Amino acid sequence: MRQPLFRACLTGVVLLGSSLALAWSQTASFGNRVHGHEFHKVTVEADDCVLKYRLDFSAPQDHYRGADPATPRFRFVARLKFKSGDKVMSPIFPNPASGQRRFQATFDTSREGCWAKNPQQLIAYDVKGCRGKGCTPDGFD
């Protein structure tokens, strides 16, 4: 009776260990300034084919005085580049307020060969932005 329980636990540990081995993460500091907003940190985590990323930035208080949070004054788009040549483009995201801000999203690499399974090295982080309700940030070259 103890032996089957031991085998089940051992199998669970092996499976858990193999799934954790596929996960990786990286945090990098950058200094991108767009319309007075300071984009300063990127965190990237991958689990299997899904890449999760977080962009930390600060929005200047003087750009948001009297702003209606329901009508964001600025919209941004970011591009992450990896040493492997792979890239991730964020959706356009609004920023409705000043202060320390964070944007989070995921990107499924399944359609691109599941490249997120392998540890990647982030080499560049670019941000474009625009001001005004419904504006569209310029694209990347």
Q: What is the pLDDT of residues 85-107, one digit of tens each?
A: 999 999 999 998 899 999 999 99
Instruction: Give the per-residue pLDDT at 34.
Output: 96
pLDDT for 2-16, tens place per residue? 554 444 444 444 444
How many Cβ atoms from other residues are within 10 Å of residue 80's Cβ?
22
Burial of 6 (0-12, 13-18, 19+ CB in 10 A): exposed
Which position has the token pair 């329901």?
Answer: 70
- Residue 104: how many CA atoms within 13 Å on its side-chain side? 4
Fold of 23-131: Immunoglobulin-like (2.60.40)
CB contact at 8 A, 98 and 64: yes
pLDDT category of residue 129 using cuts at 50, 70 and 90: very high
Instruction: Give the per-residue pLDDT at 125.
Output: 94
